[in-house]
Amino acid sequence: MIGQCGSCGSKRLLRGHMAVDGWSAPIGFHAAGASMISRRPATSLICVACADCGHVHVLAASLAALNQLWEDQSEDSLRLSE
């Protein structure tokens, strides 16, 4: 996990989840070609915000899910990992 702000170096960080006002669910990472109808993201997103400068880092909550997507896409004709 992030220990200091990548912008100003502060260690005064706040953790939370990304969401949009009016939505009942947090925003997630959807893989290329994923159906937006299902609204099931591959992983949710975590935010780390700096209390000093306001810079926000966005991280995937599940590296395992991203690794699986990478494996799937590297075998796919899209070759998104190259």
Using the predicted structure, report yes or no on whether residue 81 has a pLDDT greater than 90: no
Q: Look at residues 36, 17, 34 and name the one whose alpha carbon lies nearest to residue 25.
A: 17
3-state secondary structure of 70: helix
d(CA 78, CA 76): 5
- Residue 82 falls within a domain, yes or no? no
Sign of CA dihedral 26, 28, 33, 34: negative
pTM metric for this prediction: 0.66
- Residue 3 falls within a domain, yes or no? no
- Residue 4 falls within a domain, yes or no? no
Q: How many residues does the chain have?
A: 82
d(CA 9, CA 17): 21
Whether the Cβ atoms of residue 48 and residue 56 lie closer than 8 Å to each other = yes
Domain carrying residue 30: 13-75
- Residue 80 falls within a domain, yes or no? no
- Residue 54 falls within a domain, yes or no? yes
**Chain segment 1-60, per-residue pLDDT in tens:** 789 999 999 999 999 987 777 766 677 887 776 665 566 778 888 999 999 999 999 999
